[in-house]
Amino acid sequence: MNKEADQQFMALAIDMAAKALDDDVGGPFGAVIVREGQVIGRGRNRVLADGDPTAHAEVLAIREACRSIGDHRLAGCAVYTSSEPCPMCLAALYWARVDRVLYANVRSEAAAIGFDDEWLYLELAADITDRSLSMSRLASDEARSVFDRWFAREDRIPY
């Protein structure tokens, strides 16, 4: 991708952010996913409209892009997003196997307007016993059996 194309796709992501703000559906965030010079996914924050804390621009763009190409992997894709992805979106981008992410605003700028996810970065880096969200294992032979059955399948599709 060349710099001019990168600028054009970033402008689309920023436009998605502006639309989210103008339509009052969520925070001022937008994203587009591009493969071979074509937009295959678009998303804008819809947390408020959908009552869904996962309805971030990047996640919605990933969902649309995957439907568009019929695959859960987005290898060969670039993501343009109006702001540095939060930890949830960053993890989703890794799971989607995108090639690169370009962002406009940095997370400190998002924090300055009330979208501070630094605490979440710190929580994820902390030992599981030191996190504010209580987590404990409840082992189950049945749960392990489901894993074993999946692993034994010859037709399984690895992530």
Active-site amino acid positions: 58
User: Is 101 in a helix, a strand, or coil?
Assistant: strand
Assign 121 to helix, strand or coil: helix
CA distance 24 to 4: 30
Q: Write out the DSSP string of 26-88.
A: SSS-EEEEEETTEEEEEEE--HHHHT-TT--HHHHHHHHHHHHHT-S--TTEEEEEEEPPPHH
| Residues facing 30 on adjacent strands | 44
